[in-house]
Amino acid sequence: MDLERHIGLKIRRLNNKILSDENETMKIVGLTRIQGRVLHYILHKQMDGIDCFQKDVEERFSIKPSSATEIIRRLEDKGYIEKEEYPDDKRMKKLIVKKAGIDKKNEIVKRIISDEQKYRKGIDEDKLDIFFEVINQILENVEVGEDNND
């Protein structure tokens, strides 16, 4: 098999480069990748008018309660989120993104857009359409393969 045409290796290499860009973006804005993702998640739920709690973060990211507690505490310490007592159950604390968190999210989005422009540089829309058609087919093949392994 020609390693230059090995799909898995190419996707892994591309994934590593994209993760490296994502790590660099988060480092520049002063967050870890998981902190950035959690901040993004809480903000989107908030924008959709849906209350967000630590349990939601645990389930969404498949992390232990202790890990979620630590991530949330660090976001609180940085002034990006706060906990608010939930009126229906005083034991529960609703997670709220503060203005500083929204500003940080906007900074992250600008960097993500810049990275996306870099990825698309020199590729016309027709080739992008083909890329997405092929990558979606590969995803479908992998997902069907996973279903058949159960």
User: What are the residue boundaries of the structural domains of the chain, listed by start?
Assistant: 3-148
pLDDT at 15: 93
Q: What is the pLDDT of residues 8-28, one digit of tens each?
A: 999 999 999 999 988 888 888
Return the CATH class of domain 3-148. Answer: mainly alpha
Helix (H) or strand (E) holding 92: strand 89-97
d(CA 34, CA 39): 8
Asked if residue 129 has pLDDT above 90, the reply is yes
Q: What is the pLDDT of residues 55-64, one digit of tens each?
A: 999 999 999 9
Residues 6+ apart with CB under 8 A from 60: 41
Radius of gyration, CA atoms only, the chain: 19
Cβ-contact 20, 14 below 8 angstroms = no
d(CA 25, CA 107): 9
Structure tokens at 110: 């600008």
pTM, to two decimals: 0.72
Asked if residue 149 has pLDDT above 80, the reply is no
